[in-house]
Every structure is written in C-alpha cells, then in structure tokens.
Amino acid sequence: MTSAIRPRLLIVHQIPSQFIRALERVFDLDYQDTSVRFSHEQILSRIRAHPPDAMLFPGQTKIDKELLSTAGEKLKMLATFSVGYDHIDLKECQKRGISIGYTPGVLKDAVADLAITLLLATSRRITEAMKAVRNGQWGQSSDIMWMCGKPLVNTTIGIVGLGSIGLAIARRLQPFSIQRIVYCGTREKQFDSEQDKKLFQFVQFEELLRQSDIIIIACSLNDKTRHMFNKKAFEQMKNDAILINIARGGIIDQEALYDALKNDQIQAAGLDVTTPEPLPTDHPLLSLDNCTIFPHIGSADVNARHQMAQICVDNLLNFFSGKPMVHELKTENV
C-alpha cells in the first residue's frame, strides 16, 4: 500500500507500543505517545488539521455531532476501546454511514472481579479504615463496634441485569454463603441445575428493592434504565442496604443518592462509574464516608486491556482491507 492511499488514523489515547507497530504498517498515524488526556477541543483541532479516515478512542471520548461534522465525509470508521457506546452519537453515525467497531466479550471476568472488590471495600468500610490508620485514629476508640461492616453471609443479593457480567458476579458471590439472589431484567433466565433454580429468583424491580440487602447494578444504560435508582427507588430500599454500581453512572440519580446516604436512608454505596467522569473533586458524594468511589477501573486488568486493544486493531485492519470486523456495532439494532 503506497503512502498516497494509506488511510489516516487518529488515535486519541495512549496504547502499548506493540499495537502501534501493528497499525503503522497500514495507516498514517496521528498519534502522540503521551498519557496526558486530550480535551474535546484539542481533539477537534487535530481533526481540523488532519481529517482522519478512522478514529481509535476510549469510552471517555465523546463522539458527538460537532466532532462528526468537523471530520466530514472522509471519516468512515470509528474504533471504540470499550464495550459500551453511550458516548457515541449513534443516530448521527448511522445517518453518515460511519461503521463502528467495539470490544465486547472480554471484560466479564475483569469487571466481575472488580465488582466483588468494590462490594467488599464498601461493606467492610475499607476506605474509612485506611483513613483511620493514616489519621492516627487506630486505637483511639473503646467502642467494640468501631469500624464494623456488613457481612455477606446469609444476605439476599439483588442483581439488576443478569447478563454475562451479572451472572459472573453471582458465581463469585456463592462461596460467601449468601442466602439467595433475586434479579430483574428484560426476561427470566433458564437454569439447568436444581441448586441454581433454588438460588436465583426472577422478580420485578420494585420487589428487588424491597428484598435485597445488597444491590448490584450490572445492566446497560438506556432510556428505561437512566435514573432508575432515584428518590422513589431509595425510599423502597432497606435502611441498611448497600448499593454497588459497575455499569454506567447515568443509571443512578446522584443527587438522590447523596440525600439517601446523607440521611441514612441506605447504609452505603460503592461506585466504579459516575456522572460525569472523572467526578469533580468537590462533588458532594466525595464528602461522604459511606460512599466508596473507584475511578472506573472495571476493565483495568492487563489481559483484558490487551485483548481490547487487539480487537480494536483487528477491527481497523479488517475494515480497511474489506473484511468483516471482529466486532461491529449494528447501529440499526441498538
């Protein structure tokens, strides 16, 4: 392939060098090897200077109408380094005939592991305990209940969205001697073993709120799930309930969550996702001891990230060689 017809690829995040080498054999790269995050305006400036045929970007990069209009007709393909796609204006892409590659199917174990980590950190008050050590509070209290957390044994776990990730989380919870798992979603799951039939129970969302000691959000963000955890939902939860979110920040009304945590309407929350991301350092949720927040690291597993990068590379190479992408997002079905 001569340089005259080599497609131009804009990469807006830092990725390991082996994947850059694979791409530069085919593409003219607009790539800066830096960990500094580019602002939306900086990305637009790079597009204006050198309009790309394709873009490779993470889930934090907003692909909106302004960006797509700036790129113009030359832009033919988007490769998102993510499973989710709520950061992309799908309708505008469909109207412009832009193909989208994404990276599903590789994050199940990484996200499920992180969900358990976040749950234990929240239920056992790990952030508070670490702060107490650093602040010299360790050994200062005579209260035998000092820094006690909520156990998982004999609890009812509620999972909102029992897809592959939700089920992987459920499997990891079974050795903790939980009592049962209630779940809600678009449809009831069919289980083969008698043990699973006894363990799992399909319920409506409102019933899940009332029954669960711990609720884990593992569903996708859409018009039906946006702010489904609102003031009304928190009013239906147990006062000692714990809420964990490893899905998308927009599923929770964060103002209502703050009020629920501040007023002891629920016991605690653990979030790996927020709105916006990153969360401003002066956000009210960060002032609460009973709110544990991670910086969206559900996929931050070396193997998972390498698999995601390889899928992005393969999607790009396949598309520009006329082959089907490994994973193409069918926008007409979304």
The catalytic residues are: 296
DSSP 104-131: TTS-HHHHHHHHHHHHHHHHTTHHHHHH
The CA dihedral of 42, 299, 310, 312, to the nearest 10 degrees, is -40
Measured between alpha carbons, how far is 231 from 240 in angstroms, rounded to an integer?
16
Measured between alpha carbons, how far is 96 from 4 in angstroms, rounded to an integer?
24
Tokens of 120: 């234990």
Is the previous residue joined to 276 through a cis bond, with omega within 30 degrees of 0?
Answer: yes
Question: 190-218 burial by CB neighbour count: b if 16+ within 10 A, else e?
Answer: eeeeeebeebbbebebeebbebbbbbbbb
DSSP secondary-structure letter at 3? G
The distance in angstroms from the start CA to the end CA of the chain is 35
DSSP secondary-structure letter at 256? H
Measured between alpha carbons, how far is 110 from 228 in angstroms, rounded to an integer?
25
Tokens of 78: 């988007």
